[in-house]
Structure 1
Amino acid sequence: MLAIRLVSGSVRPDTLVLPVRPGGPDSPAVLVPTAAPSADDVRAEAGALLPAARLTGAAGEVREHLRPGAAPDRLWLLGVGAGDEQDWRIAGAALARAAKDETQITIALPDDAGTALRGLAEGLLLGSYRYRLTDAGARPSLAGVDLLVTDPQAHADTLAAARTTAEMTVLARDLTNTPSSTKHPEWFADQVAAAASGRPDLHLRVREPRELAAEGFGGLLAVGGGSARGPRLVELDWRPAGARTHVVLVGKGITFDTGGISIKPVPAMKLMRKDMAGAAAVVAATLGAAALGLPVRVTTLAPLAENMVSGSAFRPGDIIRHYGGLTSESTNSDAEGRLVLADAMAYAVRELKPDLLVDLATLTGANAVALGKRHAALYSENDDLAAGLLAAISAAGERAWRMPLADDYVEYLASDIADLHSSPARGAGSVVAALFLREFTGDLRDRWAHLDMSAPSWSDDVHGELVKGATGWGVRGLLRWLGTLG
């Protein structure tokens, strides 16, 4: 990962980056006042370049200016927009891509650098992310960034928080991007164990198929029954001393989804390695909470299964008995995520008894139909919980939109032969899936939130701090939200 450090002093770097912002409707971009100890001639030269460079100051604009024989010998102008955290995040990502052939750059930051520093650092780290299984043809990339501030020590905690947040987001991206030829439930559980090793304050339990059967996790066993690589339930617990709030995070962990006997068409199947992005996000957020020392207890449940086609796969029309005893009728084996989530949520309510319950899942294509590629759908009956999550998600640079839990759709869940119908052939797919999950929240119904994040879990192109592939959606927002609960 890109090395970032805080520096101060008067030594001129070889490559200096100066931020610029919009100057107004009829004026060019202007330089942002910074802690740069550069000589007046450098700033004067930069100011003179602005009109010729045709910079508006919009976040993510980048221009390079060569200065042969001078110091610094390369000057970069970086648009930071209005200067809020997300604008700096976008600017950092754009700079990481534009300067990929540089070895080391120095960025001058404003004296009140807190917001700027966090956004910029996250943008640099996330925008420079690449997932590759081979080094063949790999191009050189930016290795180090110095952030020039007046008092480095004053901003050390902010940089550390940004670095941890980015590292956990990268972990979620790596887990999600990993091909399913490698990734299966046992492998995922092993990755969590490796990430949590050496942390005595983190407690990990992994249930294997025999334990799942003995304890009644029928949904997880049904979905994983068609694979030669059996299901797992990962339970990871961060329990800091003095914590007064206990949050359970549940993440859908389908390591590959063929659709089962209700098999998907090939175009819909080719990216199904991403169907465990919810599990990756909640695991990474819990590890991040521990790394940051957040004073809130966090338990993550990651129900992991591979939904495959075989003689032992569950069938359309099967009745599934979930943890706790509720039964569901499934007439579509491609609606499998809600079945494993139901088990984990019922277990959380009955055994862990948390204060708050939040689940993340790449659950429905209807999420993308309703909200497009960059927004998750948020469902909750608790206005304060919904508002807190939405505010944290937005502050972290992610997006979500609150959707209704329409009670007049509950009738769609009626089954003639089971307690619930898990996959009714009606409309409002994302809403109905959320209503199904609500049936497993027990007395936590008014303290539960569901995030259907299928669409924003994957990016088809470069956008802001996102690169093509897994986004790690949810890690940043969850860490911001958890940080408000101490």
Structure 2
Amino acid sequence: MTLQFSLGAAAPETVDSACVVVGVYEHGVLSSAAAQVDAAAEGVIKRQLESGDISGKAGDCVVLFAPAGIAAKRVLVVGLGAQKSFDGARFRKACMDAARALAKLPVVEAVSYLTELDVPGRDSAWRVRIAALAADYAAYRYTATFKPRDKSPLPKLGTLTFAAGDDAQRGLEQACAIAEGVRFARDLANLPPNICNPIHIAEQAQAFANGQAQVSCTVLDEVEMEKLGFGSLLAVARGSVNKPRLIALEYKGGSEGDKPYALVGKGVTFDSGGISLKPGAGMEEMKFDMGGAAGVLGAFVAAVKMGLKLNLVCVVPSVENMPGGDSYRPSDVLTSLSGLTIEVLNTDAEGRLILCDALTWTAQQFKPQAMVDAATLTGACVVALGKHASGLMSKHDDLAAELLAAGEETLDRAWRLPLWDDYQSQLDSGFADVANIGGKSAGAVTAGCFLSRFTEGQRWAHLDIAGTAWDDGRKGLATGRPVALLAQWLLDRE
């Protein structure tokens, strides 16, 4: 069941709800809504603070049941941490903490007053949007491959109302559209590779297009790609019985003749490493190697649902990288769609090999005004930036600034890495125009440098999301990043 959202402006002590949510800072500082509840309930929150039952520390959530003087049946008190350092990131965390706490209660609806909190530099629409996205993220459950379970006897939260006026309506509408895109991306990326193969991604893209009047879908199979000269992409796919697909979605939301924006996403539905086989430990996470594809598809869904007044294309090269009798090998020389030849030094550097052909085709076919690719491209980016920031590379300072700003606005942040020509010599080859890896040092940067060879003359940026596309561990789920970042970037282009 998808969580539904609405807006309301009643005083917290008067709301007849299963639960109202208020915030408390450390050192006994009450938010405005918490102070109103406390006054109506004759000091119940302050007494709990004095006794130590409520701390106000970030992440601390306490439920007060049916306090006298309050119309609501429960009050959920959420710790906000120190007031002086409260910012957008802490606000989002508080909203997520609240949503997780509400999910454990037998309530079908609740009203949150966290959206009335003062977040420096952020207006009501922003607070509602972030709160709704955080709640939707926390409410997400992956169920696709579990045995159907009996419904829980306890009711589940279905509607969450935010305390805000009509000025926040636009933020709520954007949140609902972006949340749909994030769920689309997470659902697709979480599927196992025996279900989510290149054909499945193509089917999901086609199904979405079929339901949208302004969207069309084109899918190229291996025969069509061979005729066109996708030599690099097809080489990666050779070792698998699951055949590759190139998927292109087009959205005509702008004026006829306007050049589109283009999103390109790496869609390796399982990456064994090929002949350069990966270690067995952790290989199960390589189903997430299509996180870039999931992310750009989710951003496309969000843009369509927001009804953005622009033209947009989303291109997904999708393959499975497997060892086999026909697999491509280290030392093979491939001829890409651009005509550049590539010496394969490692078959586990396959993402760039499918992206280079997809980027070339996108530029030739659509002549976009700007092109951004997203890919779980390098472990080196995870080493450099960890799980918090995506790596951003571009030779266009204005485009990089736009994407960085979109990341800050949505808290789906990126950090810029250099794309200097100084690094290009690491890709020199004695047998082809370029090698597919640049050695041990600056692995994320040299991967970006490789892609830059195929985007000459294009306004292009690359997002390495290897660290941000999924959570670690056997129970780690796809995050849906960078859907929010890309959706905001497109929203800013209207």
Establish whether TM, by shorter chain, passes 0.5: yes
Paired position in structure 1 for 2:379:
365
Contact 1:3 1:143 in 2 (8 A): no
Number of residues paired by the alignment?
Answer: 474
Q: Matched residues in 2 for 1:382 and 1:48: separation?
A: 57
Paired position in structure 2 for 1:235:
248
CA 1:468/1:64 → structure 2, altered by over 3 Å: closer, same or farther? farther
For residues 32-431 of structure 1, what are the structure 2 equivalents within 5 Å?
Answer: 32-33=32-33, 40-42=39-41, 44-53=43-52, 55=54, 57=56, 59-67=58-66, 71-80=71-80, 84-102=87-105, 103=107, 104-108=109-113, 109-110=115-116, 113-132=124-143, 133-134=145-146, 135-136=148-149, 142-149=156-163, 151=165, 153-242=166-255, 244=258, 246-431=260-445
Read off the aligned partner of 2:62 and give its amino acid letter: R
Read off the aligned partner of 1:475 and give its amino acid letter: V
Unmatched segments (≥5 aa) in structure 1: none
Paired position in structure 1 for 2:23:
19
Q: Identity, % of aligned pairs? A: 36
1:2 aligns with 2:14: no
433-442 vs 309-318, which moves further: 309-318
Q: Matched residues in 2 for 1:429 and 1:66: separation?
A: 55
Q: Matched residues in 1 for 2:189 and 2:174: separation?
A: 23
CA 1:483/1:5 → structure 2, altered by over 3 Å: closer, same or farther? same
274-283 vs 384-393, which moves further: 384-393
Under a length normalisation based on structure 1, what TM-score does the superposition of the two structures give?
Answer: 0.91
Q: Matched residues in 1 for 2:46 and 2:28: separation?
A: 10
Paired position in structure 2 for 1:480:
488
Paired position in structure 1 for 2:120:
none
Under a length normalisation based on structure 2, what TM-score does the superposition of the two structures give?
Answer: 0.89
Q: Matched residues in 1 for 2:219 and 2:46: separation?
A: 59
274-283 vs 234-243, which moves further: 234-243
Q: Matched residues in 2 for 1:143 and 1:270: separation?
A: 33
Read off the aligned partner of 1:97 and give its amino acid letter: R
CA 1:113/1:407 → structure 2, altered by over 3 Å: closer, same or farther? closer
- Cα shift at 1:52: 3.4
The Cα RMSD (Å) is: 2.5
- Cα shift at 1:47: 4.3
Q: Matched residues in 2 for 1:426 and 1:192: separation?
A: 37
- SS of aligned partner of 1:331: coil
Q: Could you report, residue by residue, the CA deviation over 1:321-347 in whole angstroms, capped at 9, with x for unpaired residues? A: 111211101021111000000001111
Q: Matched residues in 2 for 1:479 and 1:150: separation?
A: 23
345-354 vs 451-460, which moves further: 345-354
Q: Matched residues in 2 for 1:461 and 1:64: separation?
A: 31
Contact 2:265 2:316 in 1 (8 A): yes
- Cα shift at 1:309: 1.3
- SS of aligned partner of 1:451: strand
Contact 1:20 1:32 in 2 (8 A): no
Unmatched segments (≥5 aa) in structure 2: 118-122
